[in-house]
């Protein structure tokens, strides 16, 4: 291993932790917001469906890079709200992740047929109970594989936070290059780290998939 990388290993490690933390945070927040928006997409009320649709289409159509700029510079320009790089990056990643998660969740909920609703409602369940005991447990199985994809995409998108000066893994690599002038090895290591993490997530997803798979 190159001595440069060995010397700055701590910086890379810290950047890696930051990347994991911010993408994990965005996935959790994006999952929660995506669940609300995705459920709203299946609402019987047209206005609710429409609001959810606008949210999804808006944030998945704008390039994440512009959302990072928007969260950091744009918001301050328009409203005077000054967000830290961390908050702006989390915000941008969350809206992107939630717009994709809402589609995943909508598709999952809709994969559970009308017949299951009929059966559960006929047994006297309330909408909330049908969702909790009948629809969600079946939908999760369908949602899981694409959710893993969304998480991996979110983790990669977090590298864009480097443009607003947030020191995650990519920015850590850029800083090391600036300091040492070594490019290739540094970015090779950074790329390898992304691969290892994302491959790990992929494998974890496969394990979860087996766990949620009921006899069908």
Partner 1 sequence: MAFLAGARCSKGSSTLSIRDATPAFTATGADAVLRIEGLVKRFGARTVLDGIDLEVAPGQVVVIVGPSGTGKSTLLRCINGLENIHGGRILFEGRPVLAHSKEVITVRRHIGMIFQSFKLYPHLSAFRNVTLAPMKVLGEPRTVVEERARSLFRKVRLEHRAHAYPSQLSGGEQQRVAIARALAMNPSLLMFDEPTSALDPETVGDVLVVMEDLAREGRTMLVVTHEMGFARHVGSRMIFMDEGRIVEDAAPKDLLDRPRNPRTQQFLSSILHG
Query: Which residues of the chain form contacts with partner 1 (CB under 8 A)?
Result: 115-116, 118-126, 129, 133-134, 137-138, 141, 214-216
Which tokens sit at 28?
A: 């959790």
Q: What is the rounded CA–CA span in Å between residue 127 and residue 143?
A: 20
Nearest distance from residue 136's CB to partner 1, in Å?
10
* Nearest one of 66, 71, 99 to 84, comparing CA atoms: 71
Residue 77 vs 214, nearer CB to partner 1:
214
Q: What is the rounded CA–CA span in Å between residue 181 and residue 160?
A: 21
Residue 43 vs 179, nearer CB to partner 1:
43
Residue 41 vs 141, nearer CB to partner 1:
141
Sign of CA dihedral 138, 49, 128, 99: positive
Give the three-class secondary structure for 112: coil
Nearest distance from residue 122's CB to partner 1, in Å?
4
Nearest distance from residue 130's CB to partner 1, in Å?
10
Q: Which residues contact 175 (CB under 8 A, 6 or more apart)?
A: 11, 167
Nearest distance from residue 201's CB to partner 1, in Å?
25
Residue 6 vs 47, nearer CB to partner 1:
47
């Amino acid at each position: 291993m190159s001595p440069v990388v060995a010397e700055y290993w701590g910086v890379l490690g810290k950047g890696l932790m930051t990347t994991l933390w911010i993408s994990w945070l965005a996935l959790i927040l994006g999952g929660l917001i995506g669940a609300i928006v995705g459920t709203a997409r299946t609402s019987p009320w047209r206005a609710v469906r429409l609001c959810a649709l606008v949210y999804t289409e808006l944030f998945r159509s704008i390039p994440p890079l512009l959302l990072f700029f928007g969260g950091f510079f744009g918001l301050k320009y328009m409203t005077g709200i000054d967000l830290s790089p961390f908050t702006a990056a989390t915000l941008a990643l969350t809206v992107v992740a939630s717009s994709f998660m809402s589609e995943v969740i909508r598709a999952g909920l809709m994969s559970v047929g009308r017949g299951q609703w009929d059966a559960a409602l006929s047994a006297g369940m309330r909408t909330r109970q049908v969702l909790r005991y009948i629809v969600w447990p079946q939908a999760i199985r369908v949602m899981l594989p694409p959710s893993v994809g969304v998480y991996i995409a979110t983790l990669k998108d977090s590298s864009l936070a480097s443009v607003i000066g947030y020191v995650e893994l990519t920015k850590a690599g850029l800083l090391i290059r600036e300091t040492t002038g070594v490019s290739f090895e540094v970015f090779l290591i950074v790329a390898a780290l992304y691969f290892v993490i994302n491959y790990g997530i992929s494998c974890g997803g496969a394990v979860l998939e087996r766990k949620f798979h009921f006899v069908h």
